[in-house]
A and B are shown apart, each in its own frame.
Chain A
Amino acid sequence: MSGHGPSHPQDLSLRAQAASIAAGELDPSDLLAATYARIAERDPQLNSIVSGSAEEAEHMLAAAPDGPLRGVPVAVKDMFALPWRAPRDGSPREQAPRGESGMYRRLRDAGAVVVGVTNTHFWGGGSTGHISAYGPVGNPWRVESCGGGSSGGSAAAVGARLVAAAVGTDGGGSVRLPAAYCGITGLKLTFGSTPVDGYTHGYSTMGAAGPMCRDAGDTRLFGEVLSGRALPAADASGLRVGIVPSPFWEDLDPEIDGACREALDAAGWRIPELALEGAEHAGIATVLRLTLEGLPSLGREELEEAEPIVRALVKYELLFPAQLLLRADRVRALLRRSLAAAFERCEVLAWPTVPAPAPPIANPTVTLPSGPAPPDPGNVRQCGIANLAGIPGISIPVGLHSSGLPMALQLLAPWGEEARLLDAAEHIERVTGRRHVDAVPPTARAEPAPA
């Protein structure tokens, strides 16, 4: 099969790739070769994949068992140990030994083929992806804009159709935020859904892995592989979807506010307004928990070698009074109880994933009604509550901003209810005619350069 053109197998969904291989209609060796050709063609402008081993991928393919993803290429965030590569978290140093992480075993046992390790915001500590030892991650919709973080490489690789599925991790929104920036679907699983051995942030009480794909159907299939459990589909047309006006619908780019409301209106759901006690502190409580949990893993020498912004931010974190962390933990307890009560009144909660579209790499500042701002505080405000609580959350594309960049809606569900989120996402896809999930970014429309 040709490595270029409309018949390229990486333009197929993950489901179609797996089904075509199982039916004998697609040779997985051809798919693998075509995938590497596409990475070589498109990734130089995105920088989404920092390491790809064709030899190891061929070994995985040769030994692939007859699982649900037999012979299907996938990419993995740089936070998981692989037999041939130690994870580096977007830093120059190895953060854990190479080996068979639990995540690698899940992929291998499903028959998947790991074709690349994806670029990650330095130490996983940012929502933009513009700081990495391997260079910034570009956005498939505009390569000069941020691909997001910290799973930005995974989001950009899926958005540009380099692979149909990539693994991300999410400690403060790091699956959902880059998914929103890149116009793909990203699911943060319930805390504890995936094995943590060989995961560089396995110590965290906030982090959870998650599937990143183009639509909810692929996310369901990949999510089943990652979580090791079935996520059965059901009708979601009659959901009660709660919205929490403050703080999650405040200080938003007006176009994002409008696109998210339009998607909710189109869904035809009952939409009660709710309040969540403690929600105004969710963002800063997330920052405190997330950053302070990581400090004991950090050596002094490594700190001094780090990229200047990251180094200075860690020094700032070293100054946080201990009582603030204890206050954050009280907020966390309050939020978990508030959410449990809210989910007695609705099945899903909804608000925008990010308050503004992806900022430029050269000047990562967003424009909000309150004025220009760095992206991280607003992004963590929108997403961190799911990490504090441990609940699953999904980001789904709901349109394009006038800047040409994607806009996204976030849905949250109770503990263990990932399937409900996927049902809701598929419902949105249906009522919007799939026009948002099937939109093709410019980097995926580009013709290959003449030979």
Chain B
Amino acid sequence: MDDFERYVRSGLSLAEVDVTDVDLAIIRAARAAYGPALEALERADLAGVWPEPDLDPGRPPPSARRARQ
């Protein structure tokens, strides 16, 4: 059992969700597809970017000038 399998099995076990070998194979494939982008997002410098308060996706943001604080 490698670190990733341990992570998947123990993480889902805490949530009381069973993991089959088929699940694990598919999760490995998903990680191969999305893992690099997730890691890039985790590394991204977003400290100066604030989330949008009272987000309304149907309207433009209140001010484009406040993209970075």
Contacts and interface: CB of A to CB of B under 8 A. Distances in A.
Interface in B21-57: 22-27, 29-31, 33-34, 37-38, 40-42, 44, 46, 49-52, 55-57
B44 A327 contact: yes
Interface in A301-357: 303-304, 308-309, 311-313, 315-316, 318-320, 324, 326-334, 336-338, 340-341, 344
A334 B57 contact: no
A341 B67 contact: yes
Interface stretch (A21-29, A154-162, A280-288, A400-408): A280-288
B66 to A, nearest CB: 7
Interface stretch (A82-90, A253-261, A373-381, A422-430): A373-381
B40 A280 contact: yes
A333 B61 contact: yes
B57 A191 contact: yes
Contact of B51 (A316, A332, A344, A373): A332
A389 B57 contact: yes
Interface string A277-303: 110110111010000000000001001
B23 to A, nearest CB: 4
A285 B57 contact: no
A329 B51 CA distance: 6
A193 interface: yes
A205 B17 CA distance: 27
A326 to B, nearest CB: 7
A377 B37 contact: yes
Nearest to B7: A319
A330 B27 CA distance: 26
A66 B23 CA distance: 53
Contact of B59 (A280, A320, A374, A390): A390
Contacts of A389: 57
Contact of A415 (B27, B60, B66): B60
Given A318-B17, A336-B52, A337-B67, A192 B41 contact: no
A69 B10 CA distance: 55
Contact of A327 (B12, B24, B25, B46): B46
A191 B24 CA distance: 36
A291 to B, nearest CB: 10
A281 B51 contact: no
A337 B66 contact: yes
A190 interface: yes
Nearest to A340: B64
Contacts of B12: 315, 318-319
Nearest to A320: B38
21 contacts: A192-B57, A278-B49, A281-B44, A285-B41, A309-B26, A312-B26, A313-B26, A316-B26, A319-B7, A319-B11, A327-B41, A327-B44, A333-B50, A333-B52, A333-B61, A334-B46, A334-B67, A337-B66, A338-B64, A373-B33, A390-B59
A-B pairs, top 5 by smallest CB distance, nearest first, are: A390-B57, A192-B58, A312-B26, A284-B37, A337-B67
Interface of A: 190-193, 205-206, 277-278, 280-281, 283-285, 287, 300, 303-304, 308-309, 311-313, 315-316, 318-320, 324, 326-334, 336-338, 340-341, 344, 373-374, 376-377, 388-390, 414-415
